Structure 1
Amino acid sequence: MQLVGVAITLVIILFLTMYRLPYYIYEPGNASALDPMIEVDQASNSEGDMHLVTVRGGQATPIYYLWSKIQPYHKIYPIEKIRQGLSDEEYNHIQLQYMDSSQDQAIAVAFQEAGLDVSYEFDGVYVTYVEDKMPASEVFQAGDQILSLDGHPVERTEDSIQYVEQKNAGDTIEVEIMRNGEEVTKNVELAPFPDDPEKIGMGVGLVTKRNIVTNPEVKINSEDIGGPSAGLMFSLEIYDQLTEEDYTKGYQVCGTGTISEEGKVGRIGGIDQKVVASDEDGCDLFFAPNEQGAENSDYKIAAETAERIETDMDIIPVDTFSEAVDYLKSLEPKG
């Protein structure tokens, strides 16, 4: 009888800790110094650090779900709202592609601000996701490189879009693919998109992989962190290493926001959780997307969160990379 009780207890423990619920939970992550992740040739050193701030996420177990229900900065979402029909592989692949693009844009912005030139080498067109209800779902996989359509080389995403636009629903295209190091030829039928019947296509998301060329060279190792939200902080760290002036002024500088090639800072998700993470990791100031002073901007949410958790960290609204640089220039060195 005692063995039965132990077995039942073990089953309950395993269920509470291992069973996967159809929910995804986000919580405050951490603020990681960017200096170890970014290497600019002949970089200058700084007294402080620029930080990338993350949100930690994972699929809910029963115990994790119950715990998160009572945590103020844990957010629970139905998993289909996060994945939107994508497999784990497709979702992760898209997030890493966003990160790659964000890094290139950050390099371009930092070099432009420093008065230096950049150029690009294009390295193919890749599948980021596949529409489940389109013929492409039986042909493509996330990560496939599109080499040609009906024998026409595809070097950029625009090549594929322009070729497909000339076709009609029901037409078949011969696609040459590079998959796991092997060239594969497939036929795919064009069809209307389920959510936009006026538009036809193969039913895949594509991205052009390009390598940015700079002098001095920039190397970034963000490991398995995905998404575009570190763009602003990447650009600030690169600029700080490129220039002789120490823009950290000895402070621990945190922040978040996408970055466009024009230097505009964009909205991100989980701003309140990132403020909490930055405060817990001892940051002195936090840059937040101002969104031109919009009513529910990331900056306003960040400022409200900072007040709620009673942090001493300053929350700074920015619309552009240049505004962030100007703010850092105006700081007195940390005493």
Structure 2
Amino acid sequence: MERADQRKQVTNRSLLWMAAMLLLLIALLYIPLPYYVIRPGSAIELQPLIQVEGGTKEEKGALMLTTVRMGEANPAWYVYAKLSPDVDIVEEEAVISHGETNEDFERREATVMTNSQQVAEAIAFERAGYKVKMEKQGVLVMGTIEDMPARGVLQIGDVITAVNGKRTRTTTDLFDQLKGKKEGEAVALTYLRESKEQKAVLPLKPLVDTEGKPTGRVGFGIRPDNKLLIEVPKKVTIGTKNIGGPSAGLMFTLEIYEQLKKNIDMTRGYRIAGTGTINPDGSVGRIGGIQHKIIAADIAGAEIFFAPTDSDGEVSNYDEAVATAKRIHTAMRVVPVKTVDDAISYLKQLKPKQT
């Protein structure tokens, strides 16, 4: 009888121990933390994803965009990120703005990606000698601010085309139209949503900066960007459904340009990766997470990597990329670019790869 009781006690302790371990495992893997984990993603060949009407695909090598993987942190990922040099942990509000939903974030990323593709098309066609129509269409809503009048009225992707009946073509126009107005005044907006014109009247409230300090200006609470109406003479299809953000702009431009320049293989047989936003003037802009993209490109066998050389941060993207390349001991060449023309010039002088 005593042995049976002892066995029962041992069994109970084992069950309690297993239950505790299960609860700990659940806590480690499923309890969300107010952080995001960022780590190397992949390098994706662009030739299969992009089709230019009448274009040719003669690449012996490959042009590749690079990505990062990003997800909500749990305790296990948090600890891993603190221990690994190849994983970053950032506060949630560095990724998703205060009051923004995951749906808002995904819509914003998709909108930015669409803009990036359209600008890439325009720059590639211009550099290939085609005429391109590029018209300032209005102010693109990239987000709304919590507790401000625009929240619940305007959506990410809306394009403001007029304020109080006056044409609004750029963010500068919008700021000028709101200058001198006071709290409590209202403005009548005309905007496009999925190409359909709509109207709204919004009151103005004081604006604050990212630290919550008054700016001395009033507004209705959006995160604005310029929206361009772009028309190119040939149809371009880009299949990147699960990729968001603007950082593939440079590589989109290069792939479209190469397909337009018939019978020219700009890759010269090399696997070429890169990153950087593309602007309407052809300049290449800074992006986040370049260290992760260097690792992704190296894993994919890239031999050349284009990195923006910028002055927006204390350390340029190019310097960050070089430091990571040295740390992981890759033979991949990191090439600095300020404009798409820098990248095109580099590829034109590149000697064909010897096989």
- Shift in Å, 1:96: 2.3
Match of 1:302 among 300, 313, 321: 321
SS at match of 2:268: coil
Where structure 2 has 5 or more consecutive residues not aligned to the other structure, the ranges are 1-11
Is the Cα–Cα contact under 8 Å of residues 305 and 333 in structure 2 kept in the other structure? yes
Counterpart of 2:5 in structure 1 is none
**Native 8 Å contact 1:292 1:319 kept in 2:** no
Asked if 1:84 corresponds to 2:132, the answer is: no
* Sequence identity (%): 38
SS of the equivalent of 1:68 reads: helix
Total equivalences in the alignment = 335
Preserved contact between residue 133 and residue 194 of structure 1 (Cα < 8 Å):
no
2:112 aligned with 1:98, yes or no? yes
For the structure 1 residues 14 and 207, does the alpha-carbon distance in structure 2 shift closer, same or farther, using more than 3 Å as the test? same
For 2:43, the equivalent position in structure 1 comes to 31
Q: Hey, what does 1:212 align to over in structure 2?
A: 230
Structure 2 counterpart of 1:321, one-letter code:
V
Paired with 1:98 and 1:254, the residues of 2 have a C-alpha distance of 21
- Deviation at residue 95 of structure 1 after TM alignment: 2.4
Correspondent of 2:70 among 46, 53, 57: 57
Change (3 A) 1:263 1:210: closer
- Mark the CA change 1:308 to 1:208 in structure 2 (over 3 Å): closer, same or farther: closer
In 2, are the aligned partners of 1:230 and 1:256 still within 8 Å (CA)? Answer: yes
- Measure how far apart 1:181 and its partner are: 10
Separation in 1, partners of 2:312, 2:138: 39
Secondary structure at 1:137 match in 2 = coil
TM-score, with structure 2 as normaliser: 0.83
Most deviating of 287-296 and 324-333: 287-296
* Rg (Cα) greater in structure: 2
The answer for unaligned runs of 5 or more in structure 1 is none
- Structure 2 match to 1:113: 127
TM-score, normalization by structure 1: 0.87
Summarize the Cα distance change of 1:164–1:288 in structure 2 as closer, same or farther, 3 Å threshold. Answer: same
Q: What does residue 347 of structure 2 align with? A: 328
Match of 1:12 in 2: 24
> Which amino acid in structure 2 is aligned with residue 279 of structure 1?
D
- Paired amino acid for 1:172: A
Aligned partner letter, 1:60: A
Q: Residue 89 of structure 1 contacts residue 142 of structure 1 at CA under 8 Å; is this kept in 2?
A: no
Q: CA deviation at 1:114?
A: 1.0
Secondary structure of the structure 2 residue equivalent to 1:17 = helix
Q: Secondary structure at the match of 1:239?
A: helix
Cα deviation for residue 146 of structure 1 reads 5.0
Q: What is the CA–CA distance in structure 1 between the aligned matches of 2:175 and 2:104, rounded to whole Å? A: 21
1:192/1:201 contact within 8 Å kept: yes
**What is the Cα-based RMSD across aligned positions, in Å?**
3.0
